[in-house]
A and B are shown apart, each in its own frame.
Chain A
Amino acid sequence: MSTETLTTRRAGTDSVPALRRRRPNQFVSAIVIFIVPFGALFLFVYVAPILYSIGQSLFSIRSSGLGFGAPVTTFVGVDNYTRALSSSEFWTALGRILLFGAGQVPVMLIGALVLALLLDSAAARWVSVYRVLFFLPYAVPGVIAAVLWAYLYSPSLSPFVAFGNSVGVPLDFLSPEIVLWSMANITTWVFMGYNMLIMLSALQAIPRDQFEAARLDGASEWRIALSIKVPQVRPALVLTGINSIIGTIQLFNEPQVLHVIANSVDSSYVPTMLAMGAAFIKNDFGFAAAVSVLLAIVAGVISIIYYRIAMRNPE
């Protein structure tokens, strides 16, 4: 992509070098018309809430005196942050999604990469059929997928539980030890095919003659996959990895849906549920905002670490 832009730009500057420099002023009105509608809304629904959140996190709403009269908003500094950081609910919820991410993200991405490599290999047949089948779950809205799986887990409806009982193996997908991984399965089911497709697109963009050369040198298909293909799809691994990290941080649909049918999932099971409960049940917006800011920081830090590791030079 970048080479194309470069060549066209070079061709453009050759013919009209003098015009180029005056252009910015000339096109101001067009630039404004194209950028301002998006830009203004972006400021309104992205930048403003971020600033508002940071602001909110420094204040607390306290009911005054005996509970009469309007509640008073007072500046409390980092009080909301210390409250969040010293609350066991916050650490439990954060620990859960970190555990979830450490287990689910690698399984899903490695699974997606394996499927993409298999579909890209010479041994695969009916590639387009499999590609569609793998991608199909992505068409199911996340919350609907969670409802679907909730029924597949529920003791009264689940055909898996019924089968387990019939062969004498009692299955409980909603037990406190298992339920987190039952959620991980839902996320994996929805997103594995989507990630597979991103990796497959990247794989198919690799020039084929590289494989031919390696084959002539006697490399096996396994060797080609590991030494030629995988290193070249690193940008796709970065993209899918960072997407998954951000998705894990805001994990909500699965626990919210399983919360309805499973006692093992409480109302502050994950940080987003904790923040929502703080905001709308306890009216503790400062605490909710502090949790959100902390989560955004965690997401940023983990994304940067992942990016560094994924793009590190193997040599």
Chain B
Amino acid sequence: MTLTRTRPQKTERFQNGSAELRVSRSTAMVTMGVLTLAAVYFLIPVWWLIVSATKSNTALFSSNGFGFSGFSLFDNIVDVFTKQDGLFGRWLLNSVLYAGIGGLLATFLGVACGYALAKYNFRGRGVIFGAILGGLLIPSALLTVPLYLMFSRIGLVNTVWAVLIPAIVNPFAVYLGRIYAAASMPDELLEAARLDGASEIRIFFSVALRLMSPAFVTVFLFSFVSIWNNFFLPLIMLSDQSLYPVTLGIFNWYTQTREANYNVVITGSLLSVIPLVIAFLSLQRFWRAGLSAGSVK
């Protein structure tokens, strides 16, 4: 994908003098200037977060926010992991479990459903797909309060299930799964596998999933991040602190403004963001694949 995209651009630049000439020095400077300004805007809070995570509570208030002052990063990390008997570690683990297991299930269910919608002709297919797409247009926060009432009737509130069950239903996974199944699983292959006597289930698991594995990673990434970032759902559903995901845990510390918590909240925020940043940087091409599939209607 990337190769085919960048190549024509480059030949255009080097072989065709006119394109190169047209970019005047001032245009290039304005372009790079705007891009750099934007980069500064996006990076300032990140820089502040990194610098602040190295400061003690007193240095936070007495020093310039963008400059270093003392080095208490390790003390802060120890504070984060020992506060409330090490609850933070538990929160991180919870987030990993919710997002990992939830993301995996969301991907499996979504891709299977999308695959069926792409590869089988049956009555009601359009209606089902339309309803699922409609789910994408519902502001999901509005469903959380009624969901809480439903869950409280069947005793699911304040359990792992209250966070996991809504998380594994991801209409976007179906949408992407359908697009990818249509694009990467040829009907001829399906026919051939059938002639070889493979069952439909077997074909899905051993042929389709293998062909769709890049798509599977993309969908998993989107599901993982949306569960990791969720805040409203666990805020409504959970009261037991040991079940909190890390986002809710940090918010909870943040609200305790009377305790001098700042270094713990700041360092905890940094620690909670690092796994996602690593996932983003190392899996970039999957992101772009997903976003471009979403934008070409």
For B249-260 the 0/1 string (1 means CB < 8 A from A) is 011001101000
Asked if A213 is an interface residue, CB under 8 A from chain B, the answer is no
Question: Which of the residues B34, B110, B165, B251 comes within 8 Å of A143, measured between beta carbons?
Answer: B251
For B70-93 the 0/1 string (1 means CB < 8 A from A) is 000000000000000000000000
Asked if B292 is an interface residue, CB under 8 A from chain A, the answer is yes
Query: Are the CB atoms of B138 and A193 closer together than 8 Å?
Result: no
Asked if B16 is an interface residue, CB under 8 A from chain A, the answer is yes
Asked if A8 is an interface residue, CB under 8 A from chain B, the answer is yes
Bound-complex Cα distance A1 to B179 (A): 7
Bound-complex Cα distance A261 to B26 (A): 45
Chain B interface residue count, CB cutoff 8 Å, equals 112
What is the interface of chain B, defined by CB distance below 8 A to chain A?
Answer: 5, 8-9, 12-13, 16, 18-20, 22-23, 27-28, 31-32, 34-35, 38-39, 41-43, 45-46, 48-49, 52, 60-61, 64-66, 109-110, 112-113, 115-118, 120-123, 128, 131-132, 135, 137-143, 145-150, 165-166, 168-169, 171, 174, 179, 182-183, 186-188, 191, 199-201, 204, 225, 228-229, 231-232, 236, 247-248, 250-251, 254-255, 257, 262, 265-266, 269, 272-273, 276-277, 279-281, 284, 287-288, 291-297
Contacts of A41 in B (CB 8 A): 109, 165, 168-169
Bound-complex Cα distance A123 to B61 (A): 43
Q: A35-B128, A46-B135, A152-B65 are in contact. List 13 more A-B contacts (CB 8 A).
A: A1-B293, A35-B113, A38-B109, A122-B20, A147-B251, A201-B288, A202-B292, A238-B297, A250-B139, A253-B232, A276-B145, A285-B149, A289-B146
**Given A133-B39, A135-B280, do A49 and B254 touch, yes or no (CB 8 Å)?**
no
- Contact count A vs B, C-beta below 8 Å: 309
Asked if A292 is an interface residue, CB under 8 A from chain B, the answer is yes
Query: What is the size category of the interface that chain A forms with chain B?
Result: 35 or more
**Given A49-B146, A292-B145, do A208 and B35 touch, yes or no (CB 8 Å)?**
no
Question: Which of the residues A162, A189, A249 comes within 8 Å of B139, measured between beta carbons?
Answer: A249
> Nearest residue in A to B177 (C-beta to C-beta)?
A38
Asked if A174 is an interface residue, CB under 8 A from chain B, the answer is no
Contacts of A233 in B (CB 8 A): 295
Asked if A48 is an interface residue, CB under 8 A from chain B, the answer is yes
Asked if A93 is an interface residue, CB under 8 A from chain B, the answer is no
Asked if A139 is an interface residue, CB under 8 A from chain B, the answer is yes
Top 6 A-B pairs, shortest CB-CB distance: A159-B65, A201-B292, A30-B200, A34-B116, A250-B141, A49-B146
